[in-house]
């Protein structure tokens, strides 16, 4: 049994939704495009899961956050795909791919062939087992990657009222989920091996600002430590988290956010990989010219820094997906992907944005005892990265523009004094 399409998107996450919209804008015909996803939902904005989805009051639910509302574009509910003749093959895992034959084999035994393939398989959460800790399958240990995970967290939150949560990992998932747990009146302890939260991006000074706020909200930080095992009751439920130094933390629930692994396995040995992802050129094209890769799974050239990077953020998923569609449908009109890395987060009433690269020396600016502050990163006398908390739309646009221009910085102290005004004047 088999079906053939001109375009197939493998994976039905953020990138898939934005690619579908771009295909329609560029005039795909009915019956030409198919999206295959192992999730049972049409593409949705994954960032909502650790934020609005976990709120105790008026939480967001589908269909409100289907793509592409995150970029203030049309909301593509399942009906939209039908109306445009796009085949949504949901709840279906692709278990093998043959790029030479241009076919995908699904777990239901169907062979789907394509002329052009866009790989948008994203990533999966790393499991504790990979760090030698067993017990991840207990009902109150939660990961956070997809809607099924988020639903499980909501259920566990409801059965842990006024209880204790241990959050493992001090990255994005850890920080966003910890804030949501606090809002749900759950006592939170965060455990991570580094000296401060968000070590991949924050400076110690920026981290200290948010950590102080979290502590004022009752969050307990245990740093420089990792868990070694779980205390489990007769029903298989976790009741405690035991740390490497022997500390025993009572736990009604555990959320684990210890990083991700890109879903490349279907293509290993068939396509060139780099930086843990599928290597693509500036057209998002892999080492096979009929296969493109976008989003978290793609390692692409970031022109601004002259190197291949794999980014794990929603803006890059959206824009790389659109670029791939443009490159497939109008190759002669499509230039190389020219992308300024952009990350953001929202926790409690905070909201920050980051553009560029956090390489070189960090120059802080603004009021760290107030609500508007940030940092510029200067590398080889050029501004390469900008972080701002509490900015206005105009200020965020200014730091993005300034970062993309990589201006020469002669006086770092002056840059710190000027802060956002420097970016506004560039």
* 19 is a contact residue toward ligand FDA (CB under 6 A): no
Binds ligand FDA by CB under 6 A, chosen from 33, 36, 119, 363: 36
Q: Which is nearest to 75 in space by CA: 42, 122, 36? A: 42
Residues near 394 by beta carbon (within 8 Å), at least 6 away in sequence: 424
* 273 is a contact residue toward ligand FDA (CB under 6 A): no
* 282 is a contact residue toward ligand NAD (CB under 6 A): no
Least separation in angstroms between CB 124 and ligand FDA: 8
Interacting partner of 38 out of ligand FDA, ligand NAD, none (Cβ under 5 to 8 A depending on kind) = ligand FDA
Q: For CA atoms 330, 331, 332, 338, give the dihedral sign.
A: positive
Binds ligand FDA by CB under 6 A, chosen from 344, 351, 404, 412: 344
* Residue ranges with strand state E in 38-143: 87-89, 94-98, 103-106, 111-119, 123-125, 141-142
Q: Considering only residues 114-153, where is the footprint of ligand FDA by CB under 6 A?
A: 120-123, 144-145
Least separation in angstroms between CB 337 and ligand NAD: 19
- Are the CB atoms for 390 and 372 separated by under 8 Å? yes
* 93 is a contact residue toward ligand FDA (CB under 6 A): yes
Binds ligand FDA by CB under 6 A, chosen from 37, 164, 184, 403: 37
- Are the CB atoms for 415 and 392 separated by under 8 Å? no
Q: Six-digit token pair at 170? A: 């001090």
Interacting partner of 93 out of ligand NAD, ligand FDA, none (Cβ under 5 to 8 A depending on kind) = ligand FDA
Least separation in angstroms between CB 43 and ligand FDA: 7
- State the DSSP code for 195: S
* 49 is a contact residue toward ligand FDA (CB under 6 A): yes
Q: Six-digit token pair at 326? A: 């443009």
* 356 is a contact residue toward ligand NAD (CB under 6 A): no
Residues near 148 by beta carbon (within 8 Å), at least 6 away in sequence: 39
Q: Which is nearest to 174 in space by CA: 137, 148, 211? A: 211
Select 11 or 391, whichever has its Cβ closest to ligand FDA: 11
Q: Phi and psi for 302 in degrees, rounded to 5? A: -95, 105
Q: Distance (Å, rounded) from C-alpha 146 to C-alpha 411?
A: 46
Binds ligand NAD by CB under 6 A, chosen from 146, 176, 211, 389: 176
Q: Distance (Å, rounded) from C-alpha 280 to C-alpha 296?
A: 12
Q: Considering only residues 241-270, where is the footprint of ligand FDA by CB under 6 A?
A: 263, 266
Binds ligand NAD by CB under 6 A, chosen from 11, 12, 13, 257: 257
Q: Six-digit token pair at 413? A: 């102290």
* 358 is a contact residue toward ligand FDA (CB under 6 A): no
Interacting partner of 258 out of ligand FDA, ligand NAD, none (Cβ under 5 to 8 A depending on kind) = ligand NAD
> Reduced to 3 states, what is the DSSP secondary structure of residue 7?
strand
> Reduced to 3 states, what is the DSSP secondary structure of residue 274?
strand
> Reduced to 3 states, what is the DSSP secondary structure of residue 362?
strand
Binds ligand NAD by CB under 6 A, chosen from 174, 262, 301, 366: 174
* 15 is a contact residue toward ligand FDA (CB under 6 A): yes
Altogether, the residues listed in the chain come to a count of: 426
Residues making contact with ligand FDA (CB under 6 A):
11-16, 36-39, 46-47, 49-50, 93-94, 120-123, 144-145, 263, 266, 295-297, 312-315, 317, 343-345
Residues making contact with ligand NAD (CB under 6 A):
50, 131, 168-174, 176, 192-194, 199-200, 226, 257-260, 312-313, 343, 345
């Amino acid at each position: 049994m088999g079906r053939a399409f001109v375009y197939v998107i493998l994976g039905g996450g953020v990138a898939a939704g934005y690619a579908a919209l771009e295909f329609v804008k560029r005039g795909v015909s009915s019956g030409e495009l198919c999206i295959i996803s192992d999730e049972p939902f049409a593409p949705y904005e994954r960032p909502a899961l650790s934020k609005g989805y976990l709120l105790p009051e008026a939480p967001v639910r589908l269909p409100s956050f289907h793509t592409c509302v995150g970029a203030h574009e049309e909301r593509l509910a399942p009906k939209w795909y039908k109306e445009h003749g796009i085949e949504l093959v949901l709840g279906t895992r692709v278990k093998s791919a043959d790029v030479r034959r241009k076919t995908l084999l699904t777990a239901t035994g169907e062979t789907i062939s394509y002329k052009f393939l866009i790989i948008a398989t994203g990533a999966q959460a790393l499991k504790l087992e990979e760090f030698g800790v067993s017990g991840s399958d207990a009902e109150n240990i939660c990961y956070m990657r997809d809607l099924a995970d988020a639903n499980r967290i909501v259920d566990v939150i409801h059965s842990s009222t006024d209880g204790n949560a241990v959050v493992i990992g001090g990255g994005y998932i850890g920080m966003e989920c910890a804030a949501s747990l606090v809002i749900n009146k759950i006592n939170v302890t965060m455990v991570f091996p580094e000296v401060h939260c968000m070590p991949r991006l924050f400076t110690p000074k920026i981290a200290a600002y948010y950590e102080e706020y979290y502590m004022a909200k009752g969050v307990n930080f245990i740093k420089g430590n990792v868990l070694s095992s779980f205390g489990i009751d007769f029903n298989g439920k976790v009741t405690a988290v035991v740390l490497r130094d022997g500390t025993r933390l009572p736990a009604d629930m555990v959320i684990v956010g210890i990083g991700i692994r890109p879903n490349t396995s279907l293509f290993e040995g068939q396509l060139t990989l780099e930086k843990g992802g599928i290597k693509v050129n500036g057209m998002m094209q892999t080492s096979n010219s009929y296969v493109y890769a976008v989003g978290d799974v793609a390692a692409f050239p970031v022109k601004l820094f002259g190197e291949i990077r794999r980014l794990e953020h929603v803006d890059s998923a959206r824009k790389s997906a659109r670029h791939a569609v443009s490159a497939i449908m109008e190759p002669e009109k499509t230039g190389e992907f020219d992308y300024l890395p952009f990350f953001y987060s929202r926790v409690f009433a905070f909201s920050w944005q980051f553009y560029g690269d956090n390489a070189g020396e960090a120059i802080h600016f603004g009021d760290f005892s107030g609500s508007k502050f940030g940092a510029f990163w200067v590398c080889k006398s050029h501004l390469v990265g900008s972080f701002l908390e509490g900015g206005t739309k105009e200020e965020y646009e200014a730091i993005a523009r300034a970062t993309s221009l990589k201006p020469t910085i002669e006086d770092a102290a002056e840059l710190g004094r000027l802060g956002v005004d420097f970016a506004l004047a560039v």
